[in-house]
Amino acid sequence: MAVLEVIKYPHPILKKRSETVSEIDGEVEKLIQDMKETMYMAGGVGLAACQIGIPRRVIVLDVSPIDPQHSFLALINPEIVSEEGEIDHEEGCLSVPDCLEKVRRKEKVCVRGLSPQGTEMEIKGDGILGIALQHEIDHTNGILILDRVSRLKRDIYRNKLRKEKRKEERP
């Protein structure tokens, strides 16, 4: 088990749809443990495998710091099967540092996927759980928080990154 580097925008792996996991083996189990440790060390409530450079449809979540009725959750090949309502919620992202933006999400979602043991699961989520599920599933589909904000906010963030890069490149 290891704490891995969280890949940052604009790395191209973050914009690609992740591959479906066809077999749950020791490699996937280790991936989930590494993701769990990385998420906790980074102070996040969710992480998708692509955020550590592995383009597979695996997510981990733990929203218990915000909503104590929920605990750690790992899902393989998660897909949203139903959704209802809309809600605006301020979100951040480990792969898009210093970007805290209001994002429109579905108020309630039902997600289907596999547990780490290979059992089919269905999770109904609202509040922070529903938001985190949608955010991490977006990652598996190559969608970032920046894709869910206005063009102006996206451009402001990109310009900020360019300025920071230029500062780093100066001797």
Contacts of 132 (CB under 8 A, 6+ apart): 45, 46, 61, 63, 125
CA distance 118 to 52: 22
Query: What is the structure's pLDDT at 20?
Result: 98
pTM, whole model, 2 decimals? Answer: 0.94
Q: Across residues 53-65, what is the average pLDDT? A: 97
Domains in the chain: boundaries = 12-169
Catalytic residue among 136, 164, 168, 169: 136
CA angle at 64 for the pair 113 and 88, rounded to the nearest 5°? 75
* 104 and 87 Cβ atoms separated by less than 8 Å: yes
Q: Which CATH class is domain 12-169?
A: alpha beta
Q: What is the pLDDT of residues 74-127, one digit of tens each?
A: 999 999 999 999 999 999 999 999 999 999 999 999 999 999 999 999 999 999
How many whole angstroms separate alpha carbon 33 and alpha carbon 37? Answer: 6
Print burial letters for 53-66: b (CB count within 10 Å at least 16), e (below 16).
ebbbbbbbbbbeee
Here the tokens at position 22 are: 């066809």
| Catalytic (active site) residue 164 | no
